[in-house]
Amino acid sequence: MTNTETSLKDASTSIEGVIGIALVDYTSGMALGTLGGSKDLDLTIAAAANTDVVRAKLRAMELLGIKDEIEDILITLGDQYHLIRMLKGRGHSGLFLYLALDKTRANLAMARHQLRRIEADLEV
């Protein structure tokens, strides 16, 4: 089991093309930890904004009667991938990992695999 800071550092070094990563509480929209970012990507603002994305998808699932869980949400931009990985398990309720990747350097499949591994080791 690893703490938030260690998990974010692990993600930033083990995932190719990372621009920034955050652990977010979607009940409040607060970033519990961030690493990276850029002048064009404020991770605190991104955490709050992506909370709205998660809430909208959960609401849509409710309206549609979908009885399932979100594994992850992918947003593809011209130059970036934004990946939202919902955390499951004890102590992880209401949390997600938000990962911004440089599209030209990232391997999306490997990033998803690494996020699953980091999720499994994360202790909040």
Element (H, E) at 51: helix 43-64
Q: In the block, which residue shows the tokens 């949400």?
A: 73
**pTM metric for this prediction:** 0.91
List the structure tokens of 17: 């093309």
- C-alpha pair distances (Å), 117 with each of 2, 57, 87, 99, 113: 11, 24, 11, 14, 6
List the structure tokens of 87: 């955390």
Instruction: Go through the domains of the chain in sequence order and give each one's CATH number.
Output: 4-121 (3.30.450.30)
Residue of 88 and 65 predicted with greater confidence: 65
pLDDT of residue 88: 83
pLDDT band for 91, please (50, 70, 90 cuts). low
pLDDT of residue 92: 59
Neighbour tally for 78: CB within 10 Å? 5
Q: Is the pLDDT of residue 87 over 80?
A: yes
**Average pLDDT value for residue range 85-101:** 84
